[in-house]
C-alpha cells in the first residue's frame, strides 16, 4: 500500500483542456512536493508546498496543499503537448524521509 | 548548470553478476540517494548517505550495498544481480540544511538482468 495515493494513474487529453491530478494520504506531511519526469530523464522538482491551505501557481500550473496537510492537487489550465510526462508527488512525513506516490502519466495530444 | 551524472543510461547484465552503478554530482551536496523506479510503484529509496563514508538503509536495501568514498560520488552495488532487480535506477542529491529536502536527480540507468 502506497503512503501517497495518486489519481488518476493515467490521463490522455486534448491540447487546451484542463485537468487535475490528486495526491492523497491518511498521514500528515510537513511538506509536499510535485515533480515532473519526461521520458529518458530524471524527475525535476516543480514546487514545494509547506503550509496547510497553501496555493502556489507556476504559469498554467496551480498547486494546492490541503488544510489538514494530508493531500495535494495539481491543476493544469489549457494543457499543452509540452506538459506530457509523469507527475509525481512526494511528501515528508514529520521526521521521516521523502516518500513518493506512484505517479500520474499525462499525455496531451495536439 | 548543476548536474547529477549517472555513468550508464542502459545496462544489460546476467544473473549472478556483480553490478556497479556510479553517480557523480557537481553541486557539493552533502546528501546523496539511490532510488529504484518501477511502474505503478513510484520511487523507492534503496540507500542514502549524509556524508562521506556514511550510509543509511532506505526502504528496500536487500540485495544492494553502497559506497561513498568521496563527497561527489555515490556508488550502488548489486553483489549478485537477480532478475527481480531489473529496474530503472535513479541517483539524487540534495544540500544539507533548510526545512525541506529538494532532490536533484540524474537521468537514470535502466538495468536489465537476464
Percentage above 90 pLDDT, chain A = 81
Pairwise CA distance, residues B1 & B24, whole Å: 14
Contacts of A43 in chain B (CB under 8 A): 43, 90, 103, 105
pLDDT class of B82 with cuts at 50, 70, 90: very high
User: Which residues, at least 6 apart from A55, have a Cβ–Cβ distance to it below 8 Å?
Assistant: A62, A63, A64, A65
Largest Cα separation within chain A, whole Å, is 43
What is the chain A residue with the closest CA to B103? A45
Using the beta-carbon criterion (under 8 Å), do A102 and B99 form an inter-chain contact?
A: no
CB B22 within 8 Å of CB B77? no
**Total CB pairs under 8 A between chain A and B:** 57
Residue B53: predicted pLDDT: 87
The three-class DSSP label of residue B62 is: coil
Tell me how many domains chain A contains: 1
Question: Where in chain B are the domains?
Answer: 4-113
Residue B32: how many CB atoms within 10 A of its CB?
Answer: 27
The residue that leads in pLDDT, A79 or B98, is: A79
Average pLDDT over residues B41-49: 93
Q: What is the signed CA dihedral for B78, B79, B80, B86, rounded to 10 degrees? A: 0
CB B87 within 8 Å of CB B13? no
What is the chain B residue with the closest CA to A43? B105
Which of B40, B100, B104, B110 is best to mutate for the A interface (most A CBs within 10 A)? B100
Residue A35 has pLDDT above 90, yes or no: yes
Report the CATH architecture of B4-113.
Sandwich (2.60)
Residue A92: predicted pLDDT: 81
User: Which residues, at least 6 apart from B93, have a Cβ–Cβ distance to it below 8 Å?
Assistant: B4, B25, B27, B29, B31, B32, B33, B74, B103, B104
Pairwise CA distance, residues B29 & B38, whole Å: 26
CA distance A48 to chain B (A): 8
Using the beta-carbon criterion (under 8 Å), do A97 and B4 form an inter-chain contact?
A: no
pLDDT class of A93 with cuts at 50, 70, 90: confident
Domain residues for A104? 5-109
Query: In this complex, is the C-beta atom of B61 within 8 Å of any C-beta atom belonging to chain A?
Result: no
Specify the DSSP class assigned to residue A11.
E
CB B25 within 8 Å of CB B41? no
Residue B25 has, within 13 A of its CA and on its CB side, a CA count of 25
- Supply the CATH number for residue A18's domain: 2.60.40.10
What is the chain B residue with the closest CA to A35? B103
Helix-strand-coil split of chain B, %, nearest 5: 5, 50, 45
Using the beta-carbon criterion (under 8 Å), do A33 and B4 form an inter-chain contact?
A: no
Pairwise CA distance, residues B25 & B90, whole Å: 13
Average pLDDT over residues B68-84: 96
Residue B98: predicted pLDDT: 61
Amino acid at each position: 500500500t502506497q503512503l501517497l495515493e495518486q489519481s488518476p494513474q493515467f490521463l490522455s487529453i486534448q491540447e487546451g483542456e484542463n485537468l487535475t491530478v490528486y495526491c492523497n494520504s491518511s498521514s500528515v506531511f510537513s511538506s509536499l512536493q510535485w515533480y515532473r519526469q519526461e521520458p529518458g530523464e530524471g524527475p525535476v522538482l516543480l514546487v514545494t508546498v509547506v503550509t496547510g491551505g497553501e496555493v502556489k501557481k507556476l504559469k498554467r500550473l496551480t498547486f494546492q496543499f490541503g488544510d489538514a496537510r494530508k493531500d495535494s492537487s495539481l491543476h493544469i489550465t489549457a494543457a499543452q503537448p509540452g506538459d506530457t510526462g509523469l507527475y509525481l508527488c512526494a511528501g515528508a512525513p514529520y521526521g521521516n524521509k521523502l516518500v513518493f506516490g506512484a505517479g500520474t502519466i499525462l499525455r496531451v495530444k495536439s | 548548470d548543476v548536474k547529477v551524472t549517472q555513468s550508464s543510461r542502459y545496462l544489460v547484465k546476467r544473473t549472478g553478476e556483480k553490478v556497479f552503478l556510479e553517480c557523480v554530482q557537481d553541486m557539493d551536496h552533502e546528501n546523496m540517494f539511490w532510488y529504484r523506479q518501477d511502474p505503478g510503484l513510484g520511487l523507492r529509496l534503496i540507500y542514502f548517505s549524509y556524508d562521506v563514508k556514511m550510509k543509511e538503509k532506505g526502504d528496500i536495501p536487500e540485495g544492494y550495498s553502497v559506497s561513498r568514498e568521496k563527497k561527489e560520488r555515490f556508488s550502488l552495488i548489486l553483489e549478485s544481480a537477480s532478475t527481480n532487480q531489473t529496474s530503472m535506477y535513479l541517483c539524487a542529491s540534495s544540500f544539507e540544511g533548510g526545512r525541506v529536502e529538494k532532490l536533484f536527480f540524474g537521468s537514470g540507468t535502466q538495468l536489465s538482468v537476464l
